[in-house]
Amino acid sequence: MATGICEKCAQLLKDFVAYVKRLPSELVQKITECIKNLSRCSCLRKKRATVASYISEQHERQAARALLNHLDTVDYPLPFALLEPYKALLLSNDMEVQRITTRSLVHLLVKNKGMYTQTHTHTHALSQGLTLYYCLPVSKEQVIETGMLMPLLEMLQSGDPTVQCNSCQCVASLASSDSNREAIVSAEGVIPLLVLAKSYDPQVQQNAVWALLNLTQSERTMGVLCQEGAIPVLALLLQSSNYEVQFYSCSALSNIATVPDHHPKMLGMGECFLLKSLLTLMSSSVQKNASQACRCLQILSGNVVTQEQLMYLNCVLPLKALLCSATPTLTEPAIALLSELATHQPNREGLVNEGLIQVIGQLLLCYRSSSIINHSVVTITNLSSTSEGQKAVMDSECVTGLLKALVSSVTREETILCVTSCLHHLTSWDLLQSHLATKMTPEHVSSLVKFSAQMDNLELSYRSASIISKLKMNEHVIQLLTPHYAAISEYLLMYLKNQEVRFQQLSIVTLCNLKKDGEFSVLMSGSVLEKQLKRVHAQTEQTRQLLQAIQMPPSS
């Protein structure tokens, strides 16, 4: 028959009995009489009032089991009244009742999770790079309202591992709610969770780290965690042998890293401990862990000093491995980190020498993800600022990949804007102008002409037309442009009439280039475009004369 106490307390009692048996019989007799007298007093036989008011002690276990079995027959969310017995049962002194009740509450909080959008791994990536893990349930606010939080937090310090594990899982699930996170922190639940995060019981530790992760979802509760020393605990857990613990701790650190004020604590651990641990985790065979480590490094790498440390620690090797993995979940955070590193001028030569431009070229050919394309564009733009980078672009598939994205039907408009911006940048270099022209097809030219005429998006229009204006009029280019001379003339006319000087200038530059083809000159002769050009010329001349008339004499 169960005693209702935990294994630790039972062992202590056994040790005490063994000790007492070694005492003189007269002293043992006096101790026995004293205990008997104490046991006769009614004050030691009183139960907690809250428990006594609900159910008799001999029926607690049966009630707890019945409640657990009854859950399958109840619609969700549960009526508020049906949640009230939980608090009474959680307050029980019977350890077995605590085990059954906490297990029942875990069952309640995670039941019917398949009805919701969250995955069975409790994973949901937010657009800001922050991550939240939770099981959906009955209303978690109702659980807090019934007063169950304090008993659950007390059970985190139970000597029974099952009670610890169940109560910790309950707290982790409750921490998925904003208001509940505040309640947990206000009830001083952080320290017990940090203690359990160091537990030797793998399941207890995993649930504790999951709870800490959810507490990092709010900036205020995150701040309390950091004040209580969570950062070094989470950093050490990156080296755990438990893959889930690694994942939860890394995700929590990623959330903390979104607040730059916490960076000094994160990066201040001796000998770049955190960066080294994250780089090691980037090579993990568990994809979600490698991906999360890369994402955390990308957030931290906004700091120039951090970038220098990463380059010194040879971050390029694991980074390149992720880029070549052919797995989007690994490639996306890796290209985001690379684009961040490429913004720092001293890093560029090393990145080019490691062949990363060639890797990006292959990515552009294989992926249509806007995130991958956008980060690739930023990286190419930065790495092509040197002659070595320009040569590497020519020797890679970057231009082909950019042109492929330009005409893809699934590429979003904002991504097309990024692509045209990059192509426009590449045409600033004579070497790449010719290279771009040789890679272009009629489909690419058609897209550029179409975008040039879309005056509802001025930047896209301007950049597309700029690319066309810089194409050298050789036989190949003339062959590509000739079918579009009429359409080009139309948007050039719009540019000449535009109030923005840059559009007028771009139109004139383009006309100068196109008139190198006699066929276009014939088409333009006597056209509305030519007449508008003469008007602009007359206006410009008049403006020049007026400016000359008011020009101040040079000072002596």
Average pLDDT over residues 302-313: 92
Question: Is-contact 190 153, C-beta < 8 A?
Answer: no
Report yes or no: 349 and 386 within 8 Å, Cβ to Cβ.
yes
Are 474 and 480 a contacting pair, CB within 8 Å? no
CA angle 178, 182, 183 (to 5 degrees): 115
The larger pLDDT score, comparing residue 428 to residue 253, is at: 253
Confidence (pLDDT) at 21: 67
Q: Higher-confidence residue: 103 or 3?
A: 103
pTM for this entry: 0.78
> DSSP string spanning 12-31?
HHHHHHHHHHTS-HHHHHHH
Per the structure block, which two tokens stand in for 226?
């950091």
pLDDT at 540 over 50: yes
The tokens for 70 are 């009854």
Which amino acid, one-letter code, is at 392?
A
Q: Which of 374, 458, 465 shows the shortest CA–CA distance to 411?
A: 374
Taking CA atoms, 152 is separated from 39, 46, 127, 166, 397, in Å, by: 30, 23, 32, 9, 58
Provide the angle, in degrees to the nearest 10, between the axes of the packed helices 442-452 and 413-426.
110
What average pLDDT does the segment 100-124 reach? 57
Q: Cβ neighbours of residue 176 under 8 Å, at least 6 residues apart?
A: 132, 133, 134, 135, 136, 140, 214, 217
User: Could you read off the pLDDT of 262-305 as tens digits, one per residue?
Assistant: 999 999 988 899 999 999 999 999 999 999 999 999 999 988 89
pLDDT in tens, 204-228: 999 999 999 999 999 999 999 999 9
Cβ contact 403:440 at 8 Å: yes
**Of 140, 171, 170, 145, nearest in space to 76 by CA:** 140
Confidence (pLDDT) at 310: 95
**Percent of the chain residues topping a pLDDT of 90:** 60
Tokens 């490429």, located at residue? 342
- The secondary structure of 44-68 as a DSSP string is GTPPPHHHHTT--GGGHHHHHHHHH
DSSP assignment letter at 273: H
Average pLDDT score, the chain: 84
Give 132's pLDDT tier (boundaries 50, 70, 90). Answer: very low
Beta bridge partner(s), residue 124:
132
Query: Which pLDDT score is estimated for 75?
Result: 53
Region for residue 457 given its phi and psi (left: phi exceeds 0; alpha: psi -120 to 50; beta: otherwise): beta
Q: If pLDDT is split at 50, 70 and 90, which confidence band does 60 have?
A: low
The stretch 164-189 carries a mean pLDDT of 92
One-letter-per-residue 3-state SS of 105-170: HHHHHHCCHHHCCCCCCCCEECCCCCEECCCCCCCHHHHHHCCCHHHHHHHCCCCCHHHHHHHHHH
What is the chain's length? 556
DSSP 372-402: HHHHHHHHHHHHTTSHHHHHHHHTSSHHHHH
The confidence score (pLDDT) of residue 98 equals: 87
- pLDDT category at 138 given cuts 50, 70, 90 is low
Statement: residue 404 has pLDDT above 90: yes
Answer whether the bond into residue 77 is a cis peptide, omega within 30°: yes
Q: What confidence score (pLDDT) does residue 553 get?
A: 63
pLDDT of residue 52: 46
What integer pLDDT is reported at residue 170 of this predicted model?
92
Amino acid 273: pLDDT: 95
Q: Please say if the pLDDT value at position 503 is more than 90.
A: yes
How many whole angstroms separate alpha carbon 336 and alpha carbon 355?
Answer: 17
63's CB contacts (< 8 A; 6+ apart) are 55, 85, 89
DSSP 552: P
| Phi, psi dihedrals of residue 333, rounded to the nearest 5° | -65, -30
Contacts for 72 with CB less than 8 Å, ≥ 6 apart:
none
Tokens of 398: 């970057």
Of all helices (H) and strands (E), which one includes residue 57? none
Q: What angle do CA 320, 324, 325 make, to 5 degrees?
A: 115
Q: What is the pLDDT of residue 270?
A: 85
Distances (CA, A) of 240 to 160, 237, 277: 23, 5, 11
Residue pointed to by tokens 């709870």:
211
Q: Which residue in the block uniquely carries the two structure tokens 């810089």? A: 470
Range with the lowest mean pLDDT among 19-33, 154-168, 230-244, 282-296? 19-33
Tell the residue number behind the tokens 């007492």, with chain if given.
20
pLDDT attached to residue 192: 95
Amino acid at 434: S
Task: Go through 117-143 and write b for each residue having 16 or more CB atoms within 10 A of its CB, e for each that does not.
Answer: ebeeebeeeeeebbbbbbbbbbebebb
